[in-house]
Structure 1
Protein backbone atom coordinates (compact mmCIF):
# COMPACT_ATOMS: atom_id res chain seq x y z
CA UNK A 1 0.00 0.00 0.00
CA UNK A 2 1.27 3.45 -0.89
CA UNK A 3 2.53 5.58 2.00
CA UNK A 4 2.13 8.83 0.08
CA UNK A 5 -0.73 11.27 0.46
CA UNK A 6 -2.98 12.54 -2.33
CA UNK A 7 -1.04 13.54 -5.43
CA UNK A 8 -1.32 13.89 -9.17
CA UNK A 9 0.96 12.93 -12.06
CA UNK A 10 0.93 14.37 -15.56
CA UNK A 11 1.24 12.01 -18.49
CA UNK A 12 -0.40 10.19 -21.36
CA UNK A 13 -2.67 7.20 -20.97
CA UNK A 14 -2.09 4.80 -23.85
CA UNK A 15 -4.90 2.31 -24.49
CA UNK A 16 -3.99 -0.93 -26.26
CA UNK A 17 -7.09 -3.07 -25.77
CA UNK A 18 -7.64 -4.74 -23.40
CA UNK A 19 -4.81 -3.06 -21.44
CA UNK A 20 -3.31 0.37 -20.92
CA UNK A 21 -0.07 2.06 -19.95
CA UNK A 22 0.42 5.43 -18.32
CA UNK A 23 3.47 7.26 -19.67
CA UNK A 24 4.69 9.91 -17.26
CA UNK A 25 5.44 13.25 -18.90
CA UNK A 26 9.24 13.53 -19.16
CA UNK A 27 11.01 16.30 -17.28
CA UNK A 28 12.67 17.36 -20.55
CA UNK A 29 10.72 19.38 -23.07
CA UNK A 30 11.35 16.94 -25.91
CA UNK A 31 9.84 13.48 -26.29
CA UNK A 32 12.19 10.75 -25.10
CA UNK A 33 13.10 8.21 -27.78
CA UNK A 34 13.35 5.24 -25.37
CA UNK A 35 10.92 3.71 -22.89
CA UNK A 36 11.13 1.89 -19.55
CA UNK A 37 7.94 -0.20 -19.25
CA UNK A 38 7.25 -0.86 -15.55
CA UNK A 39 5.19 -3.94 -14.62
CA UNK A 40 3.76 -4.31 -11.13
CA UNK A 41 3.18 -7.33 -8.93
CA UNK A 42 0.14 -8.98 -7.36
CA UNK A 43 -2.65 -6.44 -6.59
CA UNK A 44 -0.58 -3.49 -7.87
CA UNK A 45 -2.29 -0.63 -9.70
CA UNK A 46 -1.32 2.94 -10.58
CA UNK A 47 0.41 4.66 -7.63
CA UNK A 48 0.45 1.57 -5.40
CA UNK A 49 4.27 1.55 -5.48
CA UNK A 50 5.68 4.94 -4.54
CA UNK A 51 9.14 4.89 -6.10
CA UNK A 52 7.82 4.49 -9.67
CA UNK A 53 7.00 8.16 -10.17
CA UNK A 54 10.17 9.40 -8.52
CA UNK A 55 12.06 7.09 -10.87
CA UNK A 56 10.11 8.46 -13.85
CA UNK A 57 11.24 12.01 -13.08
CA UNK A 58 14.88 10.97 -12.60
CA UNK A 59 15.61 8.86 -15.69
CA UNK A 60 18.33 9.72 -18.19
CA UNK A 61 17.05 12.40 -20.64
CA UNK A 62 16.54 9.95 -23.51
CA UNK A 63 14.21 7.73 -21.46
CA UNK A 64 10.63 7.98 -20.25
CA UNK A 65 8.65 5.60 -18.03
CA UNK A 66 5.26 4.03 -18.60
CA UNK A 67 3.48 1.87 -16.05
CA UNK A 68 1.63 -1.06 -17.58
CA UNK A 69 -1.88 -1.77 -16.38
CA UNK A 70 -2.45 -5.39 -17.42
CA UNK A 71 -5.63 -7.43 -17.11
CA UNK A 72 -4.01 -9.05 -14.05
CA UNK A 73 -3.62 -5.72 -12.21
CA UNK A 74 -5.48 -5.17 -8.95
CA UNK A 75 -7.72 -8.14 -8.14
CA UNK A 76 -7.34 -9.62 -11.64
CA UNK A 77 -4.22 -11.63 -10.81
CA UNK A 78 -6.16 -14.59 -9.43
CA UNK A 79 -7.68 -15.55 -12.78
CA UNK A 80 -4.80 -14.44 -15.02
CA UNK A 81 -1.58 -16.17 -16.05
CA UNK A 82 2.00 -15.27 -16.92
CA UNK A 83 1.36 -16.19 -20.55
CA UNK A 84 -1.60 -13.81 -20.71
CA UNK A 85 0.54 -11.10 -19.12
CA UNK A 86 3.34 -11.67 -21.65
CA UNK A 87 0.93 -11.43 -24.57
CA UNK A 88 -0.31 -8.10 -23.21
CA UNK A 89 3.21 -6.82 -22.52
CA UNK A 90 4.16 -7.75 -26.08
CA UNK A 91 1.21 -5.73 -27.41
CA UNK A 92 2.37 -2.71 -25.41
CA UNK A 93 5.98 -3.08 -26.57
CA UNK A 94 4.84 -3.36 -30.20
CA UNK A 95 2.60 -0.33 -29.79
CA UNK A 96 5.34 1.86 -28.34
CA UNK A 97 7.91 0.77 -30.91
CA UNK A 98 5.49 1.39 -33.76
CA UNK A 99 4.91 4.87 -32.34
CA UNK A 100 8.53 5.94 -32.36
CA UNK A 101 10.22 4.39 -29.33
CA UNK A 102 13.62 3.11 -30.42
CA UNK A 103 14.40 1.00 -27.34
CA UNK A 104 12.07 -0.55 -24.79
CA UNK A 105 13.29 -2.08 -21.52
CA UNK A 106 10.85 -3.99 -19.33
CA UNK A 107 11.10 -3.64 -15.54
CA UNK A 108 9.22 -6.00 -13.28
CA UNK A 109 8.41 -5.51 -9.60
CA UNK A 110 7.64 -8.60 -7.50
CA UNK A 111 5.47 -10.94 -9.60
CA UNK A 112 6.11 -8.55 -12.47
CA UNK A 113 9.58 -10.12 -12.39
CA UNK A 114 8.00 -13.50 -13.15
CA UNK A 115 6.34 -11.82 -16.13
CA UNK A 116 9.70 -10.49 -17.32
CA UNK A 117 11.50 -13.82 -17.01
CA UNK A 118 8.56 -15.67 -18.55
CA UNK A 119 8.80 -13.23 -21.47
CA UNK A 120 12.16 -14.78 -22.33
CA UNK A 121 11.79 -18.33 -21.01
CA UNK A 122 8.37 -19.41 -22.24
CA UNK A 123 7.44 -20.61 -25.70
CA UNK A 124 6.12 -17.87 -27.97
CA UNK A 125 3.16 -19.88 -29.25
CA UNK A 126 1.68 -16.95 -31.18
CA UNK A 127 5.02 -16.21 -32.83
CA UNK A 128 4.68 -12.45 -32.45
CA UNK A 129 6.31 -11.62 -29.12
CA UNK A 130 7.91 -8.21 -29.54
CA UNK A 131 11.65 -7.89 -28.91
CA UNK A 132 12.80 -5.86 -25.93
CA UNK A 133 16.20 -4.28 -25.41
CA UNK A 134 16.79 -5.12 -21.75
CA UNK A 135 15.18 -6.28 -18.53
CA UNK A 136 15.22 -5.21 -14.88
CA UNK A 137 14.06 -7.45 -12.03
CA UNK A 138 13.19 -5.55 -8.84
CA UNK A 139 12.26 -7.79 -5.90
CA UNK A 140 12.36 -11.12 -7.80
CA UNK A 141 11.03 -13.09 -4.85
CA UNK A 142 9.52 -16.57 -4.77
CA UNK A 143 5.76 -16.46 -4.20
CA UNK A 144 5.90 -20.10 -3.15
CA UNK A 145 8.51 -19.52 -0.46
CA UNK A 146 6.72 -16.38 0.72
CA UNK A 147 3.49 -18.34 1.13
CA UNK A 148 5.20 -21.21 2.93
CA UNK A 149 6.76 -18.60 5.23
CA UNK A 150 3.50 -16.81 6.05
CA UNK A 151 0.94 -19.62 6.12
CA UNK A 152 0.32 -22.37 8.63
CA UNK A 153 1.83 -25.53 7.14
CA UNK A 154 -1.41 -27.50 7.47
CA UNK A 155 -3.39 -24.75 5.73
CA UNK A 156 -0.78 -24.39 2.98
CA UNK A 157 -0.58 -28.13 2.30
CA UNK A 158 -4.37 -28.42 2.32
CA UNK A 159 -4.83 -25.54 -0.10
CA UNK A 160 -2.27 -26.96 -2.52
CA UNK A 161 -3.92 -30.39 -2.42
CA UNK A 162 -7.38 -28.96 -3.13
CA UNK A 163 -6.08 -26.81 -5.98
CA UNK A 164 -4.04 -29.61 -7.54
CA UNK A 165 -7.00 -32.01 -7.28
CA UNK A 166 -9.28 -29.49 -8.99
CA UNK A 167 -6.79 -29.03 -11.80
CA UNK A 168 -6.60 -32.80 -12.31
CA UNK A 169 -10.41 -32.90 -12.39
CA UNK A 170 -10.47 -30.26 -15.18
CA UNK A 171 -11.77 -27.64 -12.73
CA UNK A 172 -8.67 -25.47 -12.91
CA UNK A 173 -10.62 -22.34 -13.80
CA UNK A 174 -13.03 -22.74 -10.88
CA UNK A 175 -12.59 -20.22 -8.05
CA UNK A 176 -11.33 -21.70 -4.80
CA UNK A 177 -13.39 -21.14 -1.62
CA UNK A 178 -12.43 -18.04 0.35
CA UNK A 179 -11.72 -20.14 3.44
CA UNK A 180 -8.86 -21.70 1.45
CA UNK A 181 -7.33 -18.50 0.04
CA UNK A 182 -8.36 -15.61 2.31
CA UNK A 183 -5.50 -15.90 4.80
CA UNK A 184 -3.05 -15.15 2.01
CA UNK A 185 -5.02 -13.10 -0.50
CA UNK A 186 -7.99 -11.63 1.35
CA UNK A 187 -11.17 -11.50 -0.72
CA UNK A 188 -9.37 -11.61 -4.07
CA UNK A 189 -10.69 -14.51 -6.19
CA UNK A 190 -8.17 -17.22 -7.13
CA UNK A 191 -8.69 -20.04 -9.56
CA UNK A 192 -7.29 -23.45 -8.72
CA UNK A 193 -4.93 -23.15 -11.70
CA UNK A 194 -3.54 -19.83 -10.48
CA UNK A 195 -3.04 -21.15 -6.94
CA UNK A 196 -1.00 -24.07 -8.31
CA UNK A 197 1.02 -21.66 -10.45
CA UNK A 198 1.83 -19.37 -7.52
CA UNK A 199 2.02 -21.69 -4.55
CA UNK A 200 3.00 -25.19 -5.60
CA UNK A 201 6.49 -26.49 -6.31
CA UNK A 202 7.13 -26.47 -10.05
CA UNK A 203 4.18 -24.14 -10.73
CA UNK A 204 4.27 -21.78 -13.69
CA UNK A 205 5.30 -18.85 -11.47
CA UNK A 206 8.03 -20.77 -9.62
CA UNK A 207 11.01 -18.88 -11.06
CA UNK A 208 12.86 -17.53 -8.03
CA UNK A 209 12.70 -20.18 -5.28
CA UNK A 210 16.01 -20.90 -3.58
CA UNK A 211 15.66 -24.68 -3.98
CA UNK A 212 15.34 -24.79 -7.77
CA UNK A 213 17.80 -27.13 -9.51
CA UNK A 214 20.35 -25.91 -12.05
CA UNK A 215 18.35 -27.51 -14.85
CA UNK A 216 15.41 -25.21 -14.05
CA UNK A 217 17.66 -22.13 -13.88
CA UNK A 218 19.19 -23.08 -17.23
CA UNK A 219 15.75 -23.16 -18.80
CA UNK A 220 14.74 -19.79 -17.31
CA UNK A 221 17.66 -17.43 -16.66
CA UNK A 222 19.50 -19.28 -19.42
CA UNK A 223 17.01 -17.89 -21.95
CA UNK A 224 17.74 -14.24 -21.13
CA UNK A 225 19.85 -12.90 -23.99
CA UNK A 226 19.50 -9.16 -23.33
CA UNK A 227 21.13 -6.87 -20.73
CA UNK A 228 19.85 -7.67 -17.24
CA UNK A 229 19.81 -5.75 -13.96
CA UNK A 230 18.71 -7.44 -10.73
CA UNK A 231 17.62 -5.30 -7.77
CA UNK A 232 17.17 -7.64 -4.80
CA UNK A 233 16.21 -5.96 -1.53
CA UNK A 234 18.41 -6.49 1.51
CA UNK A 235 15.35 -6.21 3.80
CA UNK A 236 12.68 -7.79 1.59
CA UNK A 237 10.09 -9.00 4.07
CA UNK A 238 8.81 -11.80 1.82
CA UNK A 239 12.11 -13.69 1.76
CA UNK A 240 12.51 -16.48 4.36
CA UNK A 241 15.27 -15.88 6.90
CA UNK A 242 17.18 -18.99 5.86
CA UNK A 243 17.65 -17.75 2.29
CA UNK A 244 21.06 -16.19 1.59
CA UNK A 245 19.85 -13.42 -0.69
CA UNK A 246 23.20 -12.38 -2.11
CA UNK A 247 24.27 -15.97 -2.73
CA UNK A 248 20.95 -16.68 -4.48
CA UNK A 249 21.32 -13.75 -6.88
CA UNK A 250 24.91 -14.70 -7.64
CA UNK A 251 23.74 -18.27 -8.29
CA UNK A 252 21.40 -17.00 -11.01
CA UNK A 253 23.88 -14.75 -12.80
CA UNK A 254 26.12 -17.36 -14.50
CA UNK A 255 23.13 -18.84 -16.33
CA UNK A 256 22.27 -15.60 -18.13
CA UNK A 257 23.36 -15.40 -21.78
CA UNK A 258 23.00 -11.62 -21.96
CA UNK A 259 25.19 -9.10 -20.18
CA UNK A 260 24.41 -8.93 -16.46
CA UNK A 261 25.01 -5.50 -14.95
CA UNK A 262 27.70 -5.64 -12.28
CA UNK A 263 25.39 -3.75 -9.91
CA UNK A 264 23.26 -6.91 -9.72
CA UNK A 265 25.82 -8.64 -7.53
CA UNK A 266 25.15 -6.31 -4.59
CA UNK A 267 21.85 -6.26 -2.72
CA UNK A 268 19.84 -3.05 -2.64
CA UNK A 269 20.78 -1.91 0.84
CA UNK A 270 17.93 -1.28 3.29
CA UNK A 271 15.29 -2.06 0.67
CA UNK A 272 11.97 -3.65 1.58
CA UNK A 273 9.86 -5.41 -1.03
CA UNK A 274 8.37 -2.36 -2.74
CA UNK A 275 10.35 0.38 -0.94
CA UNK A 276 7.15 2.05 0.33
CA UNK A 277 8.10 3.76 3.58
CA UNK A 278 11.83 3.09 3.16
CA UNK A 279 14.41 5.82 3.70
CA UNK A 280 14.72 8.20 0.78
CA UNK A 281 18.29 7.05 0.22
CA UNK A 282 17.06 3.57 -0.70
CA UNK A 283 14.94 4.83 -3.60
CA UNK A 284 17.79 7.13 -4.62
CA UNK A 285 20.12 4.14 -4.89
CA UNK A 286 17.58 2.23 -6.98
CA UNK A 287 17.20 5.24 -9.28
CA UNK A 288 20.97 5.57 -9.61
CA UNK A 289 21.37 1.89 -10.56
CA UNK A 290 18.53 1.97 -13.07
CA UNK A 291 19.88 5.14 -14.66
CA UNK A 292 23.36 3.69 -15.01
CA UNK A 293 21.92 0.52 -16.55
CA UNK A 294 19.75 2.36 -19.08
CA UNK A 295 22.59 4.69 -20.07
CA UNK A 296 24.69 1.65 -21.00
CA UNK A 297 22.04 0.11 -23.28
Structure 2
Protein backbone atom coordinates (compact mmCIF):
# COMPACT_ATOMS: atom_id res chain seq x y z
CA UNK A 1 0.00 0.00 0.00
CA UNK A 2 1.55 3.36 -1.04
CA UNK A 3 2.36 5.83 1.72
CA UNK A 4 -0.03 8.77 2.03
CA UNK A 5 1.27 11.74 4.03
CA UNK A 6 -1.06 13.25 6.62
CA UNK A 7 -0.99 15.59 9.61
CA UNK A 8 -2.87 15.48 12.90
CA UNK A 9 -3.32 18.37 15.34
CA UNK A 10 -2.78 17.82 19.02
CA UNK A 11 -0.92 18.59 22.23
CA UNK A 12 2.56 17.46 23.21
CA UNK A 13 2.94 16.57 26.88
CA UNK A 14 6.50 16.46 28.21
CA UNK A 15 6.23 14.08 31.15
CA UNK A 16 9.97 13.66 31.87
CA UNK A 17 13.00 15.69 30.72
CA UNK A 18 13.54 13.21 27.88
CA UNK A 19 10.08 11.72 27.20
CA UNK A 20 6.86 13.09 25.74
CA UNK A 21 3.39 11.99 24.72
CA UNK A 22 1.30 13.29 21.83
CA UNK A 23 -2.41 13.73 22.53
CA UNK A 24 -4.50 13.81 19.37
CA UNK A 25 -7.11 16.53 18.99
CA UNK A 26 -10.37 15.61 17.28
CA UNK A 27 -13.57 17.41 16.39
CA UNK A 28 -15.44 15.68 19.21
CA UNK A 29 -12.78 15.78 21.87
CA UNK A 30 -9.82 18.02 22.60
CA UNK A 31 -7.47 18.34 25.55
CA UNK A 32 -9.04 21.77 26.24
CA UNK A 33 -12.49 20.40 27.10
CA UNK A 34 -13.94 21.90 30.25
CA UNK A 35 -14.53 18.38 31.60
CA UNK A 36 -11.21 16.57 32.03
CA UNK A 37 -11.40 13.49 29.81
CA UNK A 38 -10.52 9.91 30.52
CA UNK A 39 -7.31 8.93 28.76
CA UNK A 40 -6.42 6.02 26.48
CA UNK A 41 -2.63 5.69 26.30
CA UNK A 42 -1.66 3.82 23.12
CA UNK A 43 1.67 1.93 23.15
CA UNK A 44 3.27 0.84 19.86
CA UNK A 45 5.37 -2.17 18.98
CA UNK A 46 8.91 -2.74 17.73
CA UNK A 47 9.97 0.01 15.34
CA UNK A 48 6.87 2.14 15.82
CA UNK A 49 6.98 5.91 16.20
CA UNK A 50 4.25 8.52 16.43
CA UNK A 51 1.29 7.52 14.24
CA UNK A 52 3.25 4.94 12.25
CA UNK A 53 0.27 2.65 12.92
CA UNK A 54 -2.41 4.49 11.02
CA UNK A 55 -5.51 3.10 12.70
CA UNK A 56 -4.58 5.15 15.77
CA UNK A 57 -5.75 8.41 14.19
CA UNK A 58 -9.09 6.79 13.27
CA UNK A 59 -9.45 5.37 16.76
CA UNK A 60 -8.78 8.77 18.32
CA UNK A 61 -11.43 10.38 16.12
CA UNK A 62 -14.01 7.73 17.01
CA UNK A 63 -13.63 7.68 20.79
CA UNK A 64 -16.59 8.72 22.95
CA UNK A 65 -16.47 12.42 23.97
CA UNK A 66 -15.41 11.43 27.48
CA UNK A 67 -12.17 9.88 26.20
CA UNK A 68 -9.01 11.15 24.57
CA UNK A 69 -6.05 9.29 23.06
CA UNK A 70 -2.39 10.01 23.68
CA UNK A 71 0.64 8.12 22.40
CA UNK A 72 3.79 8.16 24.55
CA UNK A 73 7.04 8.30 22.61
CA UNK A 74 9.18 5.93 24.66
CA UNK A 75 12.95 5.68 24.44
CA UNK A 76 12.44 2.35 22.63
CA UNK A 77 10.54 3.99 19.75
CA UNK A 78 11.85 3.78 16.19
CA UNK A 79 15.19 1.99 16.11
CA UNK A 80 15.61 2.34 19.88
CA UNK A 81 13.89 -0.99 20.59
CA UNK A 82 17.02 -3.03 19.89
CA UNK A 83 18.89 -1.77 22.96
CA UNK A 84 15.91 -1.33 25.28
CA UNK A 85 13.71 -3.78 27.21
CA UNK A 86 10.09 -4.25 28.20
CA UNK A 87 11.11 -3.53 31.80
CA UNK A 88 12.37 -0.10 30.74
CA UNK A 89 9.22 0.46 28.68
CA UNK A 90 7.04 -0.40 31.68
CA UNK A 91 8.95 2.04 33.88
CA UNK A 92 8.54 4.84 31.33
CA UNK A 93 4.85 4.06 30.83
CA UNK A 94 4.51 4.34 34.59
CA UNK A 95 5.95 7.85 34.46
CA UNK A 96 3.45 8.75 31.75
CA UNK A 97 0.51 7.33 33.70
CA UNK A 98 1.63 9.25 36.80
CA UNK A 99 1.72 12.46 34.76
CA UNK A 100 -1.84 12.04 33.45
CA UNK A 101 -3.09 10.96 36.89
CA UNK A 102 -1.83 14.27 38.27
CA UNK A 103 -3.10 16.24 35.28
CA UNK A 104 -6.60 14.69 35.39
CA UNK A 105 -7.31 13.48 38.93
CA UNK A 106 -10.31 11.21 39.35
CA UNK A 107 -10.52 10.16 35.70
CA UNK A 108 -9.94 6.76 34.08
CA UNK A 109 -6.72 5.70 32.36
CA UNK A 110 -6.61 2.66 30.07
CA UNK A 111 -3.51 1.33 28.33
CA UNK A 112 -3.75 -0.12 24.83
CA UNK A 113 -0.77 -1.96 23.43
CA UNK A 114 -0.03 -3.01 19.86
CA UNK A 115 2.26 -6.01 19.18
CA UNK A 116 5.26 -5.76 21.52
CA UNK A 117 3.30 -2.98 23.21
CA UNK A 118 1.06 -5.75 24.55
CA UNK A 119 4.10 -7.35 26.18
CA UNK A 120 4.91 -3.97 27.72
CA UNK A 121 1.46 -3.91 29.31
CA UNK A 122 1.66 -7.41 30.73
CA UNK A 123 5.03 -6.40 32.16
CA UNK A 124 3.48 -3.20 33.49
CA UNK A 125 0.82 -4.95 35.58
CA UNK A 126 2.69 -8.18 36.46
CA UNK A 127 6.45 -7.56 36.28
CA UNK A 128 9.02 -6.49 38.82
CA UNK A 129 7.99 -3.22 40.45
CA UNK A 130 4.35 -3.49 39.33
CA UNK A 131 3.06 -2.87 42.86
CA UNK A 132 4.87 0.47 42.94
CA UNK A 133 3.57 1.65 39.58
CA UNK A 134 0.43 3.72 39.12
CA UNK A 135 -2.63 1.51 38.75
CA UNK A 136 -4.59 1.68 35.52
CA UNK A 137 -8.26 0.99 34.89
CA UNK A 138 -7.83 -1.50 32.06
CA UNK A 139 -5.49 -2.91 29.43
CA UNK A 140 -6.34 -3.70 25.80
CA UNK A 141 -3.95 -6.08 24.03
CA UNK A 142 -4.07 -5.70 20.23
CA UNK A 143 -1.99 -8.23 18.24
CA UNK A 144 -0.47 -10.08 21.23
CA UNK A 145 1.70 -12.36 19.08
CA UNK A 146 4.91 -14.29 19.66
CA UNK A 147 8.12 -12.51 18.65
CA UNK A 148 9.95 -15.84 18.80
CA UNK A 149 7.60 -17.61 16.44
CA UNK A 150 7.61 -14.61 14.09
CA UNK A 151 11.44 -14.53 14.11
CA UNK A 152 11.74 -18.22 13.30
CA UNK A 153 9.35 -17.68 10.42
CA UNK A 154 11.17 -14.58 9.15
CA UNK A 155 14.76 -15.77 9.58
CA UNK A 156 14.34 -19.51 9.08
CA UNK A 157 15.66 -22.05 11.56
CA UNK A 158 19.25 -21.58 10.37
CA UNK A 159 19.24 -17.79 10.65
CA UNK A 160 17.43 -17.90 13.98
CA UNK A 161 19.89 -20.39 15.48
CA UNK A 162 22.91 -18.46 14.22
CA UNK A 163 21.65 -15.27 15.84
CA UNK A 164 20.94 -17.05 19.12
CA UNK A 165 24.43 -18.59 19.14
CA UNK A 166 26.08 -15.23 18.52
CA UNK A 167 24.03 -13.52 21.22
CA UNK A 168 24.84 -16.25 23.75
CA UNK A 169 28.52 -15.91 22.94
CA UNK A 170 28.37 -12.15 23.56
CA UNK A 171 26.59 -12.69 26.88
CA UNK A 172 29.13 -15.31 27.90
CA UNK A 173 31.88 -12.78 27.25
CA UNK A 174 30.19 -10.19 29.45
CA UNK A 175 29.03 -8.21 26.42
CA UNK A 176 25.24 -8.49 26.85
CA UNK A 177 24.68 -4.82 25.97
CA UNK A 178 26.97 -4.86 22.92
CA UNK A 179 25.30 -4.65 19.51
CA UNK A 180 25.32 -7.81 17.42
CA UNK A 181 26.76 -7.81 13.90
CA UNK A 182 24.15 -6.69 11.40
CA UNK A 183 24.24 -9.97 9.49
CA UNK A 184 22.24 -11.60 12.27
CA UNK A 185 19.58 -8.92 12.67
CA UNK A 186 19.33 -7.13 9.31
CA UNK A 187 16.16 -8.93 8.26
CA UNK A 188 14.26 -7.68 11.30
CA UNK A 189 12.66 -4.31 10.55
CA UNK A 190 15.63 -2.72 8.87
CA UNK A 191 18.98 -1.52 10.22
CA UNK A 192 18.15 -1.23 13.92
CA UNK A 193 21.08 -1.92 16.27
CA UNK A 194 20.18 -4.90 18.47
CA UNK A 195 22.19 -5.86 21.53
CA UNK A 196 22.72 -9.47 22.58
CA UNK A 197 20.48 -9.17 25.63
CA UNK A 198 17.48 -7.88 23.69
CA UNK A 199 17.98 -10.43 20.95
CA UNK A 200 17.74 -13.25 23.50
CA UNK A 201 14.74 -11.55 25.13
CA UNK A 202 12.97 -11.70 21.78
CA UNK A 203 14.28 -15.04 20.50
CA UNK A 204 13.67 -16.73 23.87
CA UNK A 205 15.67 -19.85 22.98
CA UNK A 206 14.57 -23.18 24.45
CA UNK A 207 13.85 -25.44 25.97
CA UNK A 208 12.86 -23.10 28.81
CA UNK A 209 11.74 -20.17 26.59
CA UNK A 210 12.32 -17.68 29.40
CA UNK A 211 13.08 -14.66 27.25
CA UNK A 212 11.74 -11.53 28.91
CA UNK A 213 9.45 -10.81 25.94
CA UNK A 214 8.00 -14.32 25.58
CA UNK A 215 4.44 -14.23 26.93
CA UNK A 216 2.31 -15.24 23.97
CA UNK A 217 4.05 -18.10 22.13
CA UNK A 218 1.64 -20.87 21.23
CA UNK A 219 3.85 -23.62 22.69
CA UNK A 220 4.32 -22.25 26.21
CA UNK A 221 1.41 -24.12 27.75
CA UNK A 222 -1.07 -23.29 30.47
CA UNK A 223 1.44 -23.30 33.34
CA UNK A 224 3.48 -20.52 31.74
CA UNK A 225 0.51 -18.56 30.45
CA UNK A 226 -1.03 -18.95 33.89
CA UNK A 227 1.88 -17.04 35.43
CA UNK A 228 1.03 -13.77 33.71
CA UNK A 229 -2.72 -14.48 33.71
CA UNK A 230 -2.62 -14.79 37.50
CA UNK A 231 -0.59 -11.59 37.66
CA UNK A 232 -3.21 -9.71 35.66
CA UNK A 233 -5.94 -11.07 37.93
CA UNK A 234 -3.98 -10.12 41.05
CA UNK A 235 -3.55 -6.56 39.75
CA UNK A 236 -7.35 -6.20 39.48
CA UNK A 237 -6.89 -4.80 35.96
CA UNK A 238 -9.63 -5.67 33.42
CA UNK A 239 -8.20 -6.97 30.14
CA UNK A 240 -9.45 -7.08 26.55
CA UNK A 241 -7.67 -9.35 24.05
CA UNK A 242 -7.86 -8.22 20.39
CA UNK A 243 -6.16 -10.86 18.26
CA UNK A 244 -6.07 -10.36 14.49
CA UNK A 245 -7.77 -13.13 12.56
CA UNK A 246 -5.44 -12.50 9.61
CA UNK A 247 -2.29 -11.50 11.51
CA UNK A 248 0.55 -12.19 9.08
CA UNK A 249 3.09 -12.69 11.87
CA UNK A 250 1.25 -15.69 13.33
CA UNK A 251 2.33 -19.08 11.94
CA UNK A 252 -0.40 -21.03 10.16
CA UNK A 253 -0.20 -23.89 12.65
CA UNK A 254 -1.43 -21.65 15.49
CA UNK A 255 -5.10 -22.05 16.43
CA UNK A 256 -5.76 -18.40 17.19
CA UNK A 257 -9.25 -18.84 18.57
CA UNK A 258 -8.28 -21.67 20.91
CA UNK A 259 -5.25 -19.69 22.08
CA UNK A 260 -7.24 -16.58 22.98
CA UNK A 261 -10.00 -18.60 24.65
CA UNK A 262 -7.37 -20.28 26.80
CA UNK A 263 -5.88 -16.95 27.86
CA UNK A 264 -9.33 -15.60 28.71
CA UNK A 265 -10.16 -18.68 30.74
CA UNK A 266 -6.90 -18.56 32.68
CA UNK A 267 -7.40 -14.93 33.66
CA UNK A 268 -10.97 -15.66 34.78
CA UNK A 269 -9.99 -18.78 36.70
CA UNK A 270 -7.44 -16.69 38.56
CA UNK A 271 -10.21 -14.28 39.56
CA UNK A 272 -9.56 -11.59 36.94
CA UNK A 273 -11.89 -9.59 34.71
CA UNK A 274 -11.96 -10.24 30.95
CA UNK A 275 -14.05 -8.47 28.33
CA UNK A 276 -15.50 -11.44 26.47
CA UNK A 277 -18.04 -9.32 24.60
CA UNK A 278 -15.62 -7.02 22.79
CA UNK A 279 -12.47 -9.15 23.01
CA UNK A 280 -11.44 -12.22 21.06
CA UNK A 281 -10.55 -12.73 17.42
CA UNK A 282 -10.97 -9.67 15.17
CA UNK A 283 -11.97 -11.27 11.82
CA UNK A 284 -9.86 -10.10 8.88
CA UNK A 285 -7.51 -8.01 11.02
CA UNK A 286 -3.86 -7.99 9.93
CA UNK A 287 -1.11 -7.24 12.42
CA UNK A 288 -1.40 -3.43 12.41
CA UNK A 289 -4.56 -3.32 10.26
CA UNK A 290 -2.84 -1.53 7.39
CA UNK A 291 -3.62 -4.58 5.26
CA UNK A 292 -7.22 -4.69 6.44
CA UNK A 293 -10.40 -3.22 5.02
CA UNK A 294 -12.15 -0.16 6.37
CA UNK A 295 -14.86 -2.40 7.84
CA UNK A 296 -12.28 -4.37 9.80
CA UNK A 297 -10.77 -1.16 11.20
CA UNK A 298 -14.26 -0.03 12.20
CA UNK A 299 -14.81 -3.38 13.92
CA UNK A 300 -11.64 -2.98 15.96
CA UNK A 301 -12.56 0.58 16.93
CA UNK A 302 -16.06 -0.52 17.96
CA UNK A 303 -14.54 -3.19 20.20
CA UNK A 304 -12.16 -0.71 21.84
CA UNK A 305 -14.96 1.78 22.37
CA UNK A 306 -17.04 -1.00 23.92
CA UNK A 307 -14.24 -1.91 26.31
CA UNK A 308 -13.76 1.72 27.33
CA UNK A 309 -17.49 1.98 27.96
CA UNK A 310 -17.34 -0.99 30.30
CA UNK A 311 -14.37 0.52 32.12
CA UNK A 312 -16.04 3.90 32.46
CA UNK A 313 -19.26 2.30 33.63
CA UNK A 314 -17.39 0.24 36.24
CA UNK A 315 -18.90 -2.95 34.83
CA UNK A 316 -15.86 -4.95 35.96
CA UNK A 317 -16.52 -4.32 39.65
CA UNK A 318 -14.60 -2.40 42.25
CA UNK A 319 -10.86 -1.95 41.91
CA UNK A 320 -8.33 -2.19 44.70
Asked if these proteins are the same fold (TM beyond 0.5), I'd say: yes
Partner SS, residue 235 of structure 1? coil
* 1:166 and 2:170 correspond: yes
**2:227 is the counterpart of 1:219:** yes
Tell me which residue corresponds to 1:249.
260
Aligned-pair CA distance for 1:79? 0.3
Shift of 1:4: 5.1
Structure 1 unaligned residues grouped into runs of 5+: none
Task: Tell me the residue number matched to 2:8.
Answer: 9
Matched, 1:292 2:306: yes
Relative to the length of structure 1, the TM-score reads 0.95
Corresponding residue for residue 261 of structure 1: 275
Shift of 1:214: 2.1
Equivalent residues in 2 for 1:1-297 (5 A)?
5-17=4-16, 18-26=18-26, 27-28=28-29, 30=33, 31-101=35-105, 102-124=107-129, 128-200=132-204, 201-224=209-232, 225-256=236-267, 257-263=271-277, 266-297=280-311
Moved more, 182-191 or 107-116: 182-191
2:278, 2:306 within 8 Å by CA — same for their partners in 1? no
Partners of 1:40 and 1:266 lie apart in 2 by 20
Question: 1:265 deviation in Å?
Answer: 5.5
Shift of 1:32: 4.4
After superposition, give the CA deviation of every residue in 1:245-293 in whole Å (9 maximum; x if it has no partner): 0101111112214211113554101110000142100110011001111
Residues in 1 aligned to 2:112 and 2:29: alpha-carbon distance in whole angstroms: 22
Structure 2, unaligned stretches of length 5 or more?
Answer: 312-320
CA RMSD of aligned residues (A): 1.6
TM-score, with length taken from structure 2: 0.88
Q: Are the aligned partners of 2:115 and 2:145 in contact in 1 as well (CA < 8 Å)?
A: yes
The answer as to whether partners of 2:278 and 2:304 remain within 8 angstroms in 1 is no
Gap change, CA 1:60 and 1:259, over 3 Å in 2: same
Q: In 2, distance between residues paired with 1:75 and 1:246?
A: 32
Q: 1:32–1:61: 8 Å Cα contact kept in structure 2?
A: no
Count matched residues: 295
Q: For residues 152 and 124 of structure 1, do their structure 2 counterparts lie closer, same or farther at Cα, with a shift above 3 Å needed?
A: same
Q: Residue 279 of structure 2 contacts residue 303 of structure 2 at CA under 8 Å; is this kept in 1? A: no
Moved beyond 6 Å, runs of 4+: none
**Kept in 2: contact 1:3–1:277 (CA 8 A):** no
**Per-residue CA shift, 1:111-167, capped at 9, x if unaligned?**
000001111121107x63111110000000000000111212111111111112222
Question: How far apart, in 1, do the equivalents of 2:238 and 2:13 lie?
Answer: 26
Per-residue deviation at 1:82? Answer: 0.6
